[in-house]
């Protein structure tokens, strides 16, 4: 079953405000992430991008009813069509809040993360993964879990938003 579900899984691209859920090995799928905005710029303060800065606002939220929860060891990186991975440009980000902080039941927070991506990057998409040590081992054999062996990932599209007002 594990290999069958993984073999037929498909990569999914999530859009703005489309949530990605995280299920722990207790099958408690209460933690979620979403992208609420994407902006591009050449400079942030006195820092100049090698390519272009992508400023991505990430929302972390919980739909738990009674207990504070948090992500475990979250990792955020961008991947392109060539399979290249790009880490966060931490030297230009604000330091707080951390992505692994506890969130009260039903609560949320947002944080901007920054990536310095080449100008010609193709199909840039954000991957958010979480779990440490034993979590990863257990989830690698859970049927249907994104972290199970050979299962395809859910990514966030990184397209800059342009806001236009409708005239009625």
Domains and CATH numbers, the chain: 2-157 (2.60.40.1240)
For position 49, what pLDDT does the model report?
A: 97
Give the per-residue pLDDT at 29: 75
Q: What is the pLDDT of residue 156?
A: 93
Strand pairing category for 154-157 and 12-14: parallel
Number of Cβ within a 10 Å radius of residue 36: 13
Kind and range of the H or E run holding 18: none
Measured from the Cβ of residue 101, the count of other Cβ atoms closer than 10 Å reads 13
Task: Tell me, rounded to whole angstroms, the distance of Cα 101 from its chain centroid.
Answer: 15
Q: How far is CA 72 from CA 3, 25, 123, 142, in A?
A: 26, 12, 27, 17
Which two tokens mark 80? 């392109």
Residue 1 confidence (pLDDT)? 62
Peptide bond connecting 97 to the previous residue in cis, omega within 30 degrees of 0 = yes
Which pLDDT value is given to residue 5?
61
CB-CB contact of 60 with 32 (8 Å): yes
Distance CA 157, CA 127 (A): 9
Instruction: Return the pLDDT at 154.
Output: 82
Say what the pTM is. 0.82
Q: Which residues in the chain show pLDDT less than 70?
A: 1-9, 24-28, 97, 133-152, 161-168
The CA distance from 27 to 21, in Å, is 11
């Amino acid at each position: 079953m594990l290999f069958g579900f993984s073999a037929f899984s498909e990569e999914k691209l999530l859009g703005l405000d489309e949530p990605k859920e995280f299920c722990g090995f207790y099958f408690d799928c209460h933690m979620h992430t979403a992208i609420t905005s994407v902006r591009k710029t050449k400079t942030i303060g006195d820092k100049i991008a090698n390519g272009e800065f992508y400023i991505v606002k990430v929302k972390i939220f919980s739909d738990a009813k009674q207990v504070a929860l948090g992500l475990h060891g979250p990792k955020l990186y961008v991947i392109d069509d060539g399979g290249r991975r790009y880490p966060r440009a931490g030297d230009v980000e604000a330091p707080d809040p951390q992505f692994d902080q506890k969130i009260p039941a039903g609560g949320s927070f947002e944080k901007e993360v920054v990536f310095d991506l080449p100008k010609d990057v193709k199909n840039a998409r954000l991957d958010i993964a979480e779990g440490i040590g034993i979590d990863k081992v257990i989830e690698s054999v859970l049927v249907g879990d994104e972290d199970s062996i050979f299962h395809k990932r859910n990514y966030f599209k990184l397209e800059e938003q342009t806001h236009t007002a409708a005239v009625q």
